[in-house]
Chain A
Amino acid sequence: GEDVEQSLFLSVREGDSSVINCTYTDSSSTYLYWYKQEPGAGLQLLTYIFSNMDMKQDQRLTVLLNKKDKHLSLRIADTQTGDSAIYFCAEKAGGFKTIFGAGTRLFVKA
């Protein structure tokens, strides 16, 4: 079956790097996503990576994919207080459905 798991909380100091980890089970996943949800808001697509890539960088964001271990990570460099939010890992597997992890709540301490 399809399952996406991530740790629930992460706390970092402002200026440090944040690394949010995710594991998934479906080896047929084609795309893997990171979404950000701020309080009271919808989901913002931050970035995505195709399953034949192992890294993608976009400004402060770096996505690493280890397809063998089915492990995805999101690194946020120079984390700011405005990065405090819930980050969802998601996979598009076996068709067009997107399956979400439980979300990692990132706390950034000033």
Chain B
Amino acid sequence: SAVISQKPSRDICQRGTSLTIQCQVDSQVTMMFWYRQQPGQSLTLIATANQGSEATYESGFVIDKFPISRPNLTFSTLTVSNMSPEDSSIYLCSDSGTGFMNTEAFFGQGTRLTVV
């Protein structure tokens, strides 16, 4: 199974600032995903991080607000830009597995973001 590490694990940020979250996988994976989990809610997919090309965003999420990088097959970053209290959530990174069939989807421990 893949091990996914996220940094930071939590942060408290001032509104109007930006935070970059890092996600490191211990093996090469085809796809990486970023999710948001708002307080008491389920997980919502923000975008698919594609290696070597622009991320693919889900409806309601835009690149200006959530720029994503994927410089190689083991690493990705998500930036939450110009933060407001509504951005307070847990942000989770996930991978699609290491094989073509991609049977499993593992998650990092998440980054708990509080915007004040």
Which A residues lie at the B interface, using CB under 8 A? 31, 33, 35, 40-45, 48, 50, 88, 90, 92, 96-103
Closest to A88 in B: B42
Closest to B112 in A: A40
Secondary structure at the B interface, as helix, strand, loop or mixed, is: loop
**Do A31 and B103 touch across chains, with their CB atoms under 8 A apart?**
yes
Mask: chain B, 66-104; 1 = CB below 8 Å from A; 0 = not: 000000000000000000000000001010100000111
Q: How large is the interface on B (under 10, 10 to 19, 20 to 34, 35 or more residues)?
A: 20 to 34
Q: A43-B92, A88-B43, A92-B102 are in contact. List 18 more A-B contacts (CB 8 A).
A: A35-B107, A40-B112, A41-B110, A42-B92, A43-B43, A43-B107, A43-B110, A44-B107, A45-B104, A88-B42, A96-B31, A96-B102, A97-B45, A98-B33, A98-B45, A98-B94, A100-B42, A100-B43
**Do B42 and A41 touch across chains, with their CB atoms under 8 A apart?**
no
* A-B contacts at CB below 8 angstroms, number: 49
B48 at the interface (CB under 8 A from A): yes
Which B residues lie at the A interface, using CB under 8 A? 1, 30-31, 33, 41-43, 45, 48, 92, 94, 96, 102-110, 112
Secondary structure at the A interface, as helix, strand, loop or mixed, is: strand
Known contacts A50-B103, A98-B94, A41 near B30 by CB under 8 Å: no
Contacts of B104 in A (CB 8 A): 45, 48
Contacts of B96 in A (CB 8 A): 96
Contacts of B105 in A (CB 8 A): 33, 45, 90, 92, 98
Known contacts A42-B107, A43-B107, A50-B103, A96 near B48 by CB under 8 Å: yes
